[in-house]
A and B are shown apart, each in its own frame.
Chain A
């Protein structure tokens, strides 16, 4: 037997009045068949049958009031009513099948294939592009340590060459730092040009001539004789021309500074250069002589090399490189003549110097050299 209790026919209605029964006791009804007309405070509604079966009892007569939740109709039914059971919440139901696949009680029977490595070793291996499977583990239980990765790198073919490692010291160390600093900061542009020195008198002192040509170049284009501060974006112009002279030595690169080159005679210039060469060779050059260059000359052609991309040392903004001068066939007045050529390479810091300024400077240097 099933009892159909009066459901709430509206929203929170406590009761309803029976207006008319559509069925009587003993009737057999279907699901959804209208059973009774009920009047509530809001409306008159037909109540459909929730079950199929035979009506055994009507719990009330027309015009009687029935409380919500009280028995309304009793059925005799074989129907098994779906019972979701939940008084709170809604359970998801479906006809889905549990696909449990091949469940393994415990773990899958597989042997450990991962390489055991310290996290630091993994990071290091990734940075150095080392395949951990190639590394010999020395840690406990076959563990690869960071040191194992380093050992692997040390044993790689590139490291197999013999040779002693030495720490850079002194001037060479300073050179390494200054060059790296320059590379990080400066925006260098290098322009190259040949200067025709055919008409230069024999036995001319080329170094002195070049120093004087730089002074002439600076006079024509003062923008190359400045110090530039990349942080504050300030440049400082100078009337004086302090020329740094790159001098090679076994200890490393020295750049002693020829102060006030613009005020020095040829003879004074030559004398200063000679003194610096000597003092660099015997390491007696004073630190104060190594500071304050406003522009630099690298006369690398004394050794070998035509063109170069010389490196500027901040705060200066320009360096002129002179390559090895040589005899060359030159076109002159429509004819080929054999003359003397000196290649020049000017690097300028394009943050502080324009291309126009740089080329005007180079032009003035060349013009000055060719007037001699």
Chain B
């Protein structure tokens, strides 16, 4: 069992599934010869050949369109977009075709594809390489939005996403790509989609987050633990459809809820989560729920990035505000 990074886990999951399922195709800009901009597809060309690992032109709309066509005809394409900020030319294919193929054909055709893309700030890149626009996709019926936050979850959730018969937008937190290593067993075992992962159990406050913000949230939970505040940390993992029941059960226990996400505040996924918490767990709330998020601005350049990404301190400050309500 090897200790690998998150990006290596992504690579491992694709390699595993390609080895057991000849229908799985990997495609995207520079994914074959070059091994991908972050080397997520490194070595796949050598192992599986140019018919299954395809370098595409620099045309995201075409990448998505090709993937939709392949998927509708029974292949299982895993298409990479180099950065989330490059995905928008493909939205027409994703929203108008991939997400509604099953519905439009009354179930005759499905779209078993995965759109992979790195996302999020923290790697000192230009702004359109740094954004977190998961809410666009979560808002679209027919799309599954999955976000791993550790090597093991990247491996297990990507396997599940490739095997899922419907389109999955698989968002990989780039600042966690090589941040740390974890032992991951390459056994082809998928993790369940559409369910949260409770990373820490606690009694005083529920911290709901996903992707790269899991890092700061766990750090905050550890600091709070030393101050005698016990935080439950939930990694939502599948943003859409949302496993609200796990969140509600936790909030009913703790009575306090904070959602942490890197994306801007307005209309972020945190708004949906807190709306449901207020609708369904209002009477368990001891304190007004809060969101700790990025700002309603374009992600700044490298020097200001650290002020944009919600810090451990901002999370702790929010928890302390909620703890004032006994």
Query: Looking at the complex, which of A83-91, A148-156, A206-214, A354-362 is the stretch in contact with chain B?
Result: A83-91
On chain B, the residues within 8 Å of A87 by CB distance are: 37
A164 in the interface, Cβ–Cβ < 8 Å?
A: no
B170: interface (CB < 8 Å): no
| Chain B residues touching A, range | 35 or more
Tell me if B97 counts as interface (CB < 8 A to partner A).
Answer: no
Chain B residues contacting A106 (CB-CB under 8 Å) are 195-198, 243, 246
Please give, as numbers and ranges, the residues of chain B lying within 8 Å of A122 by CB-CB distance: 286
Contact yes or no, A103 B250, CB < 8 A = no
Across the two chains, which residue of chain A brings its CB closest to B325? A122
Nearest chain-B residue to A108 (Cβ)? B201
Stretch at the interface among A111-119, A187-195, A226-234: A111-119
Q: Give the distance in Å from the alpha carbon of A92 to the alpha carbon of B254 in the complex.
A: 34
* Residue B39 interfacial (CB < 8 Å): yes
B232 and A108 within 8 A (CB) = yes
CB distance from B200 to the nearest CB of A (A): 6
Say yes or no: A112 contacts B253, CB within 8 Å.
Answer: yes
Query: Which B residues between 34 and 88 are near A, CB-CB below 8 angstroms?
Result: 35-39, 42, 83
Q: In this assembly, does A81 line the interface, its C-beta being within 8 Å of a C-beta of chain B?
A: no
Cα A220 to Cα B66 in complex, Å, equals 108
Q: Are A93 and B152 in contact (CB under 8 A)?
A: no
CB closest residue in chain B, given A111: B253
Binds B, one of A94-102, A170-178, A301-309: A94-102
CA distance A89 to B125 in the complex (A): 4
- Whole-angstrom distance between the alpha carbons of A95 and B179 in the complex? 8
CB nearest to B246 among chain A residues: A107
Q: Which residues of A contact B124 (CB under 8 A)?
A: 89-90
When A85-B35, A92-B175 are in contact, do A112 and B197 touch as well, CB less than 8 Å? no
Cβ B123 vs Cβ A89 within 8 A = yes
Range, interface on chain A = 35 or more
B201 surroundings in chain A (CB, below 8 A): 102, 104, 108, 110
In chain B, what residue has the closest Cβ to A145? B283
The interface residues of chain A lying within 8 Å CB-to-CB of B95 are none
The answer to whether A105 has its CB under 8 Å from any CB of chain B is yes
The contact string, 1 if C-beta is below 8 Å from chain A, for chain B 276-291, is 0000001111100000
Kindly report which residue of chain A lies nearest to residue B151, judged by CB atoms.
A98
B179→A85 contact, CB < 8 A: no
CB distance from A329 to the nearest CB of B (A): 61
What's the nearest-Cβ distance from chain B to residue A26, in Å? 30
Question: Cα distance A92–B123 when bound, in Å?
Answer: 7
Q: Is B252 positioned at the interface, with any CB of A under 8 Å from its CB?
A: yes
A205, B124: Cα distance in complex, Å: 99
Q: Tell me which residues across on chain A come within 8 A of B182, comparing CB atoms.
A: 97-98, 100
The distance in angstroms between the C-alpha atoms of A89 and B299, with both chains bound, is 14
Are the C-beta atoms of B180 and A96 separated by less than 8 Å? yes
From B42, B243, B284, give the contact of A114 (CB < 8 A). Answer: B284
Main secondary structure of the interface of A (DSSP, over half): loop
A103 contacts which chain B residues (CB < 8 A)? 197-199
Residue of B nearest to A83 (CB): B39
B104 contacts the other chain (CB 8 A): no
Q: Is the CB of B152 within 8 A of A98?
A: yes
* Contacting residue for B180 out of A94, A118, A126, CB 8 A: A94
Contact yes or no, B250 A107, CB < 8 A: yes
Please determine whether B122 and A92 come into contact, CB atoms closer than 8 angstroms. yes
A88-B37, A89-B174, A95-B181 known; A114 vs B286 contact (CB < 8 Å):
yes
Of chain A, the residue at the smallest CB distance from B36 is A85
Which chain A positions have C-beta within 8 A of B284?
112, 114, 116
Residues of A within 8 A of B198 (CB): 103-108
Known contacts: A85-B38, A86-B123, A107-B196. The answer to whether A93 contacts B283 by CB under 8 A is no
Q: In the complex, are the beta carbons of A96 and B179 less than 8 A apart?
A: yes
A245 to chain B, nearest CB (A): 53
Q: Does B192 contact A (CB under 8 A)?
A: yes
Using CB atoms, name the residue of chain B closest to A139: B283
A96 to B42, CA, bound (A): 23
Separation of A89 and B39 alpha carbons in the complex (Å): 14
A110 — which chain B residues lie within 8 A by C-beta? 201, 249, 253
Residue contacts A-B, CB under 8 angstroms, 29 given: A83-B39, A83-B42, A85-B42, A88-B129, A89-B125, A90-B123, A91-B179, A92-B123, A94-B178, A94-B180, A95-B181, A98-B180, A100-B199, A101-B199, A103-B198, A105-B192, A106-B195, A106-B243, A107-B245, A108-B249, A110-B249, A110-B253, A113-B253, A114-B286, A116-B252, A116-B283, A117-B283, A119-B282, A122-B286
| Contacts from A to B (Cβ < 8 Å) | 83-98, 100-108, 110-114, 116-119, 122, 126, 139, 143
